[in-house]
Amino acid sequence: MRRVYALILIIGMAATAAAQQRLASVTPLPTKVEFSDTPATLDVERGLRLYIEGAAEESERLARAADATGIALKRVNRPAKERYLNLRVTDSAEQGAEGYTLDVTERGVTITASTPAGIFYGLQSLRQMNDGEVECCTITDAPRFAYRGILIDISRHFRTKEFLMRQIDMMAQLKMNRLHLHLTDAAGWRIEVDSYPRLTSYAAWRTPSTWKEWWYGERQHVEEGTPGAYGGYLTKAEARELVEYAADRYITIIPEIELPGHSDEVLAAYPELKCTNNPKFQGDLCIGKEATFEMMQSILDEIIEIFPSEYIHIGGDEASKESWKLCSDCQRRMQEEGLESVDELQSYMIHRIEEYLNARGRQIIGWDEILQGGLAPNATVMSWRGEEGGIAAAEAGHDAIMSPHGYCYIDAPQDAPYSQPESIGGYLPLEQVYSYDPAPESMDEATRRHILGVQANLWAEFIVTDEHYEHMLWPRAIAIAEIGWTPQQRREYSDFRRRTLRIVEQMQQAGYTPFDLKNEIGNRPETLTPIDHLALGKSVTYNYPSRYYAPKYAAAGDATLTDGLRGGWTYADKRWQGFLGRGGVDVTIDMGEVTPIRSISADFMQICGPGVYMPCMVEIAVSNDGEQWQPLACIEHEIVVDELPSFKSFGWEGETSARYIRYVGHRSKYSGFLFVDEIVVH
């Protein structure tokens, strides 16, 4: 009898484990899942009866979301006792504005929430659980962060309404709730504005078609209808349709109208708003001219009529500010307003625009540069250059959205760069994105309260086609979705990757073109195992201040070049050390004593896009006393400017003995960085 009982127990445990494994497909991972002692499933093949309670105004929207679960549903006017799907919006729900409870029994499914949004998210979990049958369980779930977003850049290369709708569909399944549309930038204005029609009849069109050819060429815009013109824009009707489509999926579209920088296309269409010194390539609006404010306010009036979002993104990043220093109008404005710097001049503009939007019931978001010169009183900061801007804003009592370059800029390759389409450069695999925590325990509680959430940014300079854009976006945006939703202590990469493989396969079957995760190559092989060599841990002297490594790319500091760690596909992985001084790399390794040496080498990388080049010459010499040097090698190298990242070892082989090794890498005629990871001595 005991053996029978043990067998039943084992079978029960196995069934429970199987049920948990099937349920583990839900992404983002729910906060809490409870199973009954006796594993069971609800057969949904024959359909369920749908009853919606307490959401009269949004019942049709929720009914459409329920239909999308793939379960055949019959709408009824009262709760059924068997084979039911009951959706209940009730004040008694305790999971917050977007939380829900999903209860599955052998009789039916009940989803309870305090808002229709919570019901919608519960339906997304049910949709993922549906495999003809649904595991009986109770899910109690709510998002970690209120803001879970993606930026889609439609300025550099235009994307249609239909393309955006496809991405909204995927975002909704992953419980994301903010789509940040980058509508304006130098390469093209992408939203219809009645009051300034040349923004779309002229500034939305260019030749040639690719951003790269345009940016490195004459940067000309052309009239709509010009033979060969490339571009496009969303009409107001299309934008409103997008807003409604997203709202049906509980996603808010946040429009971005860039100012004062990244405004080349505006000045091309309306050159009277340029600064008085009028440089050839001018991207900053003239803040001294009152007509600039009249234009921006008129544009924003039309934008807020289309987009009901509480937030309007006003950019604020990467303004060069150089033309303001020479512009008589800007200088007059600074004198009249008592401004001491061009940073304060930018802050003046941000303040004025914020006041204008606040008076119309809207709030501004800007990139972290809006901190410069003083932050506008009610502004929210989107931190992209790192986390520092977001933390500074939060510590000052402002809300912040984390979007740091090292984790959230998914325009970098996600696999070995040689295997990927052309991109901005670098390397940002899914695992690194997933490792990000926007509000770690090390951050004090008062600061954490102001971290609204997280956003992935996908800039489109090098992304010409829709297929390429989806390849870059998914599955890394899935990681952002789970970071934004799932409690930090519940997240674990190997489990997430397993679930993501399934989602990628489903996306491919649905016609999306995500990165094929199952065939991921991974990081540069040299990174996988520390290298043991004669110079490991030896002291390194950097010979001249002008050749010292750049603080931003210090890696492990003075220990970097002999710490045994090789660099990966990107110079930003804190293993490559970057040199920007005039002379390049010039270091001396002290071996501690005269040592027999057979080889000396070091790897360099080249990624021309961000200005990373190979050395034009490498010199290697040795010495026993540090004064008299014996040259071993002088290796000349011709720099070839190309598109793909490349790696090359520069070294010497032979027989010698020495205490000191001097390794010099000379910069070429191209201004930019040299990056080296380890000087290997055998």
Following DSSP, what letter does each residue of 661-677 receive, concatenated? EEEEEE--SS-SBEEEE
- Bridge partners (DSSP) listed for residue 312: 364
Minimal CA–CA distance to 113: which of 124, 126, 99? 99
Instruction: Say whether 414 sits in a helix, a strand or coil.
Output: coil
The most confident of 168-182, 315-329, 410-424, by mean pLDDT: 168-182
Instruction: Say whether 12 sits in a helix, a strand or coil.
Output: helix
What confidence score (pLDDT) does residue 454 get?
Answer: 98
Cβ atoms of 472 and 414 within 8 Å: the answer is yes
Minimal CA–CA distance to 567: which of 648, 682, 497, 636? 648
- With residue 220 as reference, give the H or E element that holds it: none
pLDDT tens, position by position, 377-405: 889 999 999 999 999 999 999 999 999 99
More confident residue, 583 or 417: 417
Cβ atoms of 434 and 482 within 8 Å: the answer is yes
pLDDT tens, position by position, 232-260: 999 999 999 999 999 999 999 999 999 99
Domains and CATH numbers, the chain: 2-141 (3.30.379.10), 147-519 (3.20.20.80), 525-681 (2.60.120.260)
Q: Are β-strands 363-367 and 311-315 bridged in parallel, bridged antiparallel, or unpaired? A: parallel
Following DSSP, what letter does each residue of 251-265 receive, concatenated? -EEEEEEEESSS-HH
Q: How far apart are CA 75 and CA 77, in angstroms?
A: 7
What confidence score (pLDDT) does residue 19 get?
Answer: 52
- Cα angle vertex 109, ends 32, 60, to 5°? 105
Statement: residue 12 has pLDDT above 80: no
Confidence of residue 374 (pLDDT cuts 50, 70, 90): confident
Instruction: Supply 13's token pair.
Output: 């445990």
Specify whether the backbone of 274 is left (phi greater than 0), alpha (psi in -120 to 50) or beta: beta
Q: Which residues contact 303 (CB under 8 A, 6 or more apart)?
A: 191, 255, 257, 312
What confidence score (pLDDT) does residue 21 get?
Answer: 59
pLDDT tens, position by position, 78-96: 999 999 999 999 987 778 8
Cβ atoms of 36 and 136 within 8 Å: the answer is yes
Counting residues of the chain whose pLDDT is more than 70, the rounded percentage is: 96
Minimal CA–CA distance to 124: which of 191, 180, 74, 170? 170
Q: Are β-strands 630-636 and 380-383 bridged in parallel, bridged antiparallel, or unpaired? A: unpaired
The distance between the two most distant Cα atoms of the chain, rounded to a whole number of Å, is: 97
What confidence score (pLDDT) does residue 24 get?
Answer: 63
Instruction: Supply 223's token pair.
Output: 């009239």
Cβ atoms of 447 and 456 within 8 Å: the answer is no
Statement: residue 60 has pLDDT above 90: yes
30, 243, 483 from 492: Cα distances, Å: 13, 34, 11
Q: Which residues contact 32 (CB under 8 A, 6 or more apart)?
A: 139, 140, 141
Statement: residue 36 has pLDDT above 90: no
Confidence of residue 664 (pLDDT cuts 50, 70, 90): very high
pLDDT tens, position by position, 343-371: 999 999 999 999 999 999 999 999 999 99
Confidence of residue 426 (pLDDT cuts 50, 70, 90): confident
How does 425-435 read in b/e, with b if 16+ C-beta sit within 10 Å? bbbbbbbbbbe
Write the secondary structure of 62-76 as one string of H (helix), E (strand) and C (coil).
Answer: HHHHHHCCCCCEEEC
What confidence score (pLDDT) does residue 344 get?
Answer: 96
Cβ atoms of 587 and 548 within 8 Å: the answer is no
Instruction: Say whether 35 sits in a helix, a strand or coil.
Output: strand
Positive or negative, the CA dihedral 183, 185, 191, 195 is positive
Q: How far apart are CA 679 and CA 541, in angstroms?
A: 13
Global confidence as pTM: 0.93
Q: Name residue, tokens 């290298």.
A: 531
Confidence of residue 534 (pLDDT cuts 50, 70, 90): very high
What is the pLDDT of the chain when averaged over all its residues?
A: 93
End-to-end CA separation in angstroms for the chain: 69
Instruction: Say whether 347 sits in a helix, a strand or coil.
Output: helix
Confidence of residue 17 (pLDDT cuts 50, 70, 90): low
Lowest mean pLDDT among 233-247, 274-288, 435-449: 274-288
Q: How far apart are CA 206 and CA 192, in angstroms?
A: 17
Cβ atoms of 584 and 614 within 8 Å: the answer is no
Question: Which sequence positions are flagged as catalytic?
Answer: 185, 262, 318
Q: How far apart are CA 649 and CA 614, in angstroms?
A: 10
Confidence of residue 23 (pLDDT cuts 50, 70, 90): low
What confidence score (pLDDT) does residue 234 get?
Answer: 98
pLDDT tens, position by position, 607-620: 888 889 999 999 99
pLDDT tens, position by position, 206-223: 999 999 999 999 999 999
